[in-house]
């Protein structure tokens, strides 16, 4: 067997493997990059809805308090182990278990002023966390809980999804440890939320929730490929809306690019 014949068979085997892998990877109907651009689009900084006043304060959160008639009672206040904050000349105020909105009312009563004369915000969220795993920007970590955000709002706040993330493989596990109940698992259908504005699975995130984001099938298979074929995959845009034949032609074009003018030409490739 001559060199050219062996080289041709080798190229054919490589192309067959590429066809198999691309067919297995191109099963999703939603483009993950398009969803992530939408997810991280408008209202990216902070929390889009004003849920901050619904946050339930716990020890050892840090509050910032301002009151025009009582400037000495304001400032930065750490919620103590007794669940109270020190208001100086106005004594202590129990805030553990109260929402920020309720603390507004309690302070207004204590200072004997209208609520609009009082300002309260959580300066540091130290007491409650949500745990993220998988293909989320920043990867596995504990994220401070900041109030009753939806799943989409939470994903925005943590930075969005990685390029390997699968929008169809997002789950929220609610352990119910304190209640001694069986854990609940919620599937977040991000494509339905994006394509159809179907909010049925866009649940409210709670403290101690665990958010898992899986990989696309393309990404899983890419990591199993030899280095030379991984490079070919990296050069192709994971556009799930393209026709399968176009995807094979694009990948094969990258594979044969280094074989000179005698490399086989495929349908859709321009002649040299």
- pLDDT by residue (tens digit) across 46-69? 445 678 999 999 999 999 999 988
Residue from 234, 47, 239 nearest 143 by CA: 47
Measured distance CA(195)–CA(148) in Å, rounded = 24
Fold of 56-124: wza like fold (3.30.1950)
What DSSP element (H or E) covers 167?
strand 165-174
Measured distance CA(68)–CA(252) in Å, rounded = 70
Class of domain 32-49+127-215: alpha beta
- pLDDT by residue (tens digit) across 192-228? 999 899 999 999 999 999 999 999 887 777 777 777 6
**Domain ranges across the chain:** 3-28+219-260, 32-49+127-215, 56-124
Q: Would you place residue 254 in the very low, low, confident or very high pLDDT band (cuts 50, 70, 90)?
A: low
């Amino acid at each position: 067997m001559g060199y050219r014949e062996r080289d041709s068979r080798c190229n054919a085997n490589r192309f067959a493997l590429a066809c198999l892998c691309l067919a297995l990877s191109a099963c999703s109907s939603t483009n993950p990059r398009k969803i992530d651009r939408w997810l991280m689009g408008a209202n990216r900084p902070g929390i889009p809805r004003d849920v901050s006043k619904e946050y339930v304060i716990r020890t050892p959160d840090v509050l910032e308090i301002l009151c025009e008639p009582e400037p000495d009672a304001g400032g930065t206040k750490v919620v103590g182990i007794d669940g109270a904050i020190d208001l100086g000349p106005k004594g202590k105020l129990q805030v553990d278990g109260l929402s920020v909105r309720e603390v507004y009312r309690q302070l207004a009563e204590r200072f004997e002023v209208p609520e609009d004369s009082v300002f309260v915000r959580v300066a540091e969220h130290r007491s409650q966390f949500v745990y993220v795993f998988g293909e989320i920007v920043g990867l596995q970590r504990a994220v401070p809980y900041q109030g009753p955000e939806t799943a989409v709002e939470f994903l925005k706040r943590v930075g969005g999804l990685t390029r390997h993330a699968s929008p169809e493989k997002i789950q929220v596990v609610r352990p119910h440890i304190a209640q001694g109940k069986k854990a609940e698992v919620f599937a977040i259908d991000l494509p339905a939320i994006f394509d159809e504005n179907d909010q049925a699975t866009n649940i409210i995130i709670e403290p101690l929730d665990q958010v898992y984001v899986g990989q696309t099938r393309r990404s899983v298979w890419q990591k199993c490929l030899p280095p030379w074929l991984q490079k070919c995959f990296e050069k192709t845009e994971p556009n799930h809306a393209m026709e399968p034949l176009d995807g094979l032609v694009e990948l094969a074009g990258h594979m044969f690019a280094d074989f000179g003018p005698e490399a086989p030409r495929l349908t859709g490739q321009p002649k040299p």
